[in-house]
């Protein structure tokens, strides 16, 4: 069983790194494979997202998993009054706003050969911890994801504590797709990071795993 903290090095995904690490694919999702081979470079170049990965600490230096992040926000004017009240109950009156800072997890993948080692859950724990780290450069209250509307994918995010931003697919379509009657291919979900900040002690900076720019 792999251990994300001890068996891998955290790196920014770059073409130079990818060329040294050899092949990495996600055969169950060719679109994800294509993104992490080609499109991630375009997103980074246009300042639309940055991609990161974990690389094995052995001589083969294989890329085991990767994710892409981008700045975003949750707009309270788009959600129902019921959901708006739920958000506001967890935020002090003086800090309530029409929108709240969030980070979008644009892509996330565990590559072939590394499935079945709990890396998907460890990777999500890493992302959560990263954004409550005292050294994090920006304020981020929420993680959000536009999850593929498939039971296995939705279940993964639910098990990681994410909940739907909208009460129903109909409400989401009205807010984001101008009332389209088509079946939703994705569902917006969010995780409130304040839960971790209140549950976990602050980690000393010397103990934190820092990014390796390879």
**Other residues' Cβ atoms within 10 Å of the Cβ of residue 212:** 11
**Residue-level pLDDT at 180:** 64
Phi, psi of 11 (to 5 degrees): -140, 155
How deeply is 115 buried, as exposed, middle or buried, from its count of CB atoms within 10 A (0-12, 13-18, 19+)? middle
* β-sheet bridge partners, residue 67: 52, 108
End-to-end Cα, the chain, rounded Å = 25
* Cα–Cα distance for residue pair 123/16, rounded to 1 Å: 23
pLDDT for residue 213: 46
User: Would you list the domain boundaries of the chain?
Assistant: 4-202
pLDDT score, position 200: 57
The DSSP H or E segment spanning 188 is: strand 186-192
| pLDDT score for 102 | 96
SS3 51: strand
Count H helices and E strands in the chain, helices first. Answer: 9, 7
How confident is the model at residue 175, as a pLDDT? 85
pLDDT averaged over 10-residue windows placed end to end, the chain, 214 residues: 94 96 92 95 97 95 97 92 88 92 96 94 96 88 95 96 92 78 85 84 44 47
- The predicted structure's pLDDT at residue 202: 45
Task: Please state, in angstroms and rounded to a whole number, the distance separating the CA atoms of residues 214 and 208.
Answer: 18
The fold of the 4-202 domain, in CATH, is Aminopeptidase (3.40.630)
- In what helix (H) or strand (E) does residue 88 lie, and over which residues does it extend? helix 81-89
């Amino acid at each position: 069983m792999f251990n994300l903290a001890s068996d891998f090095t955290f790196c920014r995904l770059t073409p130079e790194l990818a060329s040294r690490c050899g092949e990495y694919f996600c055969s169950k999702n060719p679109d994800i494979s294509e993104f992490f081979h080609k499109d991630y470079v375009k997103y980074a170049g246009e300042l639309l997202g940055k991609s990161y990965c974990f690389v094995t600490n052995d001589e083969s230096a294989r890329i085991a998993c990767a994710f892409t992040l981008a700045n975003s926000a949750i707009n309270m004017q788009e959600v129902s009054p019921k959901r708006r009240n739920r958000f506001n109950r967890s935020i002090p009156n003086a800090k309530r706003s029409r929108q709240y800072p969030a980070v979008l997890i644009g892509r996330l993948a565990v590559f072939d050969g590394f499935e079945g080692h709990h890396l998907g859950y460890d990777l999500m724990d890493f992302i959560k911890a990263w954004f409550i780290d005292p050294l994090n450069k920006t304020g981020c209250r929420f993680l959000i994801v536009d999850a593929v509307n498939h039971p296995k994918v939705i279940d993964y995010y639910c098990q990681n504590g994410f909940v739907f931003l909208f009460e129903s697919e109909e409400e989401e379509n009205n807010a984001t797709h101008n009332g389209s009657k088509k079946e939703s291919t994705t569902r917006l979900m969010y995780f409130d990071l304040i839960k971790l900040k209140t549950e976990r002690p602050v980690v000393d900076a010397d103990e934190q795993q820092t990014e390796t720019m390879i």
